[in-house]
Amino acid sequence: MNSRLQLDLTATAVPGPRSPQDEAAPAGR
C-alpha cells in the first residue's frame, strides 16, 4: 500500500512543476 501512496504523491508532484513549463512551451511558440 505504501507504493500506491508514493505513486500518488509522485503523480501530483509531476503535474505541479510541469504545469508552468507546459504554459511556457506554447507561449514561446
Rounded distance, CA 22 to CA 15, Å?
10
Q: Along the 29 residues of the chain, how does pLDDT read in single tens digits?
A: 677 766 666 655 555 555 555 555 555 44
Q: How much is the pTM?
A: 0.23
How confident is the model at residue 25, as a pLDDT? 57
Place of cell 505504501: 2
Q: For the chain, what's the residue count?
A: 29
In DSSP notation, 1-29 reads -HHHHHHHHHHHHTHHHHHHHHHHHHHH-
How confident is the model at residue 3, as a pLDDT? 73
